Amino acid sequence: MGLWKSAVEGLALSPLKTTGFWRGKRVLVTGHTGFKGSWLTIWLERLGARVTGLSLTPVTEPNLYTEAKIEELCDSRICDIRDAAAVNALVKETQPEIVLHLAAQPLVRASYRDPLDTFASNVMGTVHVLDALRGVDSVRVALLVTTDKVYRDSGDNRAYREDDPLGGHDPYSASKAACEIIIASYREAFLASQGVAVASARAGNVIGGGDWSEDRVIPDAIRAWEAGRPLEIRRPKAVRPWQHVLEPLSGYLTLARRLWQEAPLASAYNFGPAMTDAVAVRELVAMASDAYGGGEIECSEAAEGPHEAAWLALDSTKVHDAIGVRPRWPLSMAVEKTMAWYRAQREEADALGLCRNDIAAFEAAA
């Protein structure tokens, strides 16, 4: 048992300690123009992978895709995952070996405003990606990213495990819970017999430099503080499993490598921080203000806006034990790295260089 545990802990060192695995691999990343997709593309290019990106154009201005010149790091294809024929044609053309599916409508409040688009992008978009893999002999691994919000809200303030019931009050959560069922169906009905290891990744709330999305607390803070305004928090007591964006991305890369070697590991996995890092929005923002060098905060105790879960945390024991993935940066470090990124970028530091520096520091943390 001691030898087995040591081997697993060695796997947790980094997907980057085995750079030879990724070198030359044909990797399709959907959603490469988004926040997480841009970071992932930078990392894969660093590892020597041959990345094809499939995504819509960036939806915010500024955005990390443009600031870091991601299109120079990959074969970037502007394509809508709601277009089944286009997705199918791109997969057939590029013959990927590993597929990392991140493209989605990712915002809870946006899903209330436009549920049809949310379901079309998240549910049918996922179906289109999975169906395009049928009959493509090159594909060995498909990892599809959902969310920590796929679980039915139990209201008992318990960290969710992978075998807990799926659900979703808001359209975003419901769409991602539906994706989990679809992913399992395609794995069992089609892709496992084809030799494709299909898994899903349920990640906690991520922070990191280069996120300018709407209705996310750190981007909202940056916008407010750079404009000299106080940050208004609508749900200061809401608890979420916060982690730096490199934590789940490292997990995805490690899981994909293991699935290449051990297809029976294909299933659903939580990727969350230590339980001590599931904290209230109020606490996260106070840490961010300190790390940024000051920033006013105004908290509203009223339940503004549509329903969102008050408490959310993930039990990541499964991925710890089976894959060897463990958190590296505590929340304090994640916040410090995030705010340092924005401070440096505000002073016109190179966005790609900032990301590469953070990746190097994260690798060293192992």
CA 179-184-190 angle, to 5 degrees, is 115
**Cβ proximity of 204 and 240 under 8 Å:** yes
Q: Could you give the CA distance from residue 47 to residue 41 in angstroms, rounded to a whole number?
A: 10
**Cβ proximity of 47 and 19 under 8 Å:** yes
CATH code for 26-365?
3.40.50.720
**Cβ proximity of 271 and 254 under 8 Å:** no
pLDDT above 60: residue 4: no
Query: Which residues is 29 bridged to in the sheet?
Result: 53, 100
The ranges assigned to domains in the chain are 26-365
Task: Please report, as a single letter, which amino acid is at residue 171.
Answer: P
pLDDT above 50: residue 12: no
Task: State what percent of residues in the chain have pLDDT above 90.
Answer: 87
Long-range contacts of 284-287 (CB under 8 A, 24+ apart): 284/207, 284/217, 284/240, 284/242, 284/331, 284/335, 285/217, 285/221, 285/231, 285/233, 285/236, 287/331, 287/332, 287/335
Question: What is the model's pLDDT at position 361?
Answer: 97
Residue 95 neighbours by CB under 8 Å, 6+ apart: 26, 136, 138
**Cβ proximity of 342 and 292 under 8 Å:** yes
Task: Please report, as a single letter, which amino acid is at residue 54.
Answer: L
Note the pLDDT tens digit of each residue in 195-211: 999 999 999 899 999 99
Note the pLDDT tens digit of each residue in 281-333: 999 999 999 999 999 999 876 656 676 778 899 999 999 999 999 999 999 99
Note the pLDDT tens digit of each residue in 97-139: 999 999 999 999 999 999 999 999 999 999 999 999 999 999 9
Q: CA Rg, the chain, in Å? A: 19
Half-sphere exposure of residue 161: CA atoms within 13 angstroms, side-chain side:
5
362: tokens are 């994260």
Residue 51 neighbours by CB under 8 Å, 6+ apart: 27, 28, 29, 32, 41, 44, 45, 73, 74, 75
Nearest to 278, CA basis, from 204, 356, 337, 215: 204
Mean pLDDT, to the nearest integer, of 21-47? 98
Q: Could you give the CA distance from residue 64 to residue 55 in angstroms, rounded to a whole number?
A: 14
Q: Could you give the CA distance from residue 128 to residue 132 in angstroms, rounded to a whole number?
A: 6
Global pTM value: 0.94
